[in-house]
Amino acid sequence: MSHPHLLTPEEKLADAKKLLSLPPIVVICGSTRFMSEMNEADLRETKDGKIVVKPGCDMKSPHKLWSDPVEAEALKVRLDDLHRAKIRLADEVLVVGDYIGDSTRAEIAYARSLGKPVRYTHPEVDPDA
């Protein structure tokens, strides 16, 4: 006797996006030193009809929300988890900038492990090229 195929959470999300007629969702990844370039990429991707998610905090810039080193470290962990959730939500990844550090390299590996297509504003920095 055949058992019905149970959809994975990823398959359910993909089906929901189709049923809702959502445009493609792109997540922007990269070092926050490239925040202005990320904002420019956000404009271009939005103009092209995509929903854009990107880092919302630039912890390299001073701010009272992360002025305490202990709170800043805890926030960084939460933001890393949040960004992985954005990668899971997205249909594709856009890596911004001409430098890839350890965090971005880990995000790229995570996206690829999920089968997400990855594009680069600077293809020469693709760690797998």
Q: What is the pLDDT of residues 38-95, one digit of tens each?
A: 999 999 999 999 999 999 999 989 999 999 999 999 999 999 999 999 999 999 999 9
Looking at residue 5, what is its pLDDT?
Answer: 83
Maximum average pLDDT range among 24-28, 62-66, 124-128: 24-28
The set of residues, in sequence order, having a beta carbon less than 8 Å from that of 59 and lying 6+ positions away, is 32, 66, 72, 75, 76, 79
Looking at residue 1, what is its pLDDT?
Answer: 59
Mean of all residue pLDDT scores within the chain: 94
The DSSP output letter for 115 is T
CA-to-CA distance for 72 and 35, rounded, in angstroms? 19
Average pLDDT over residues 100-109: 94
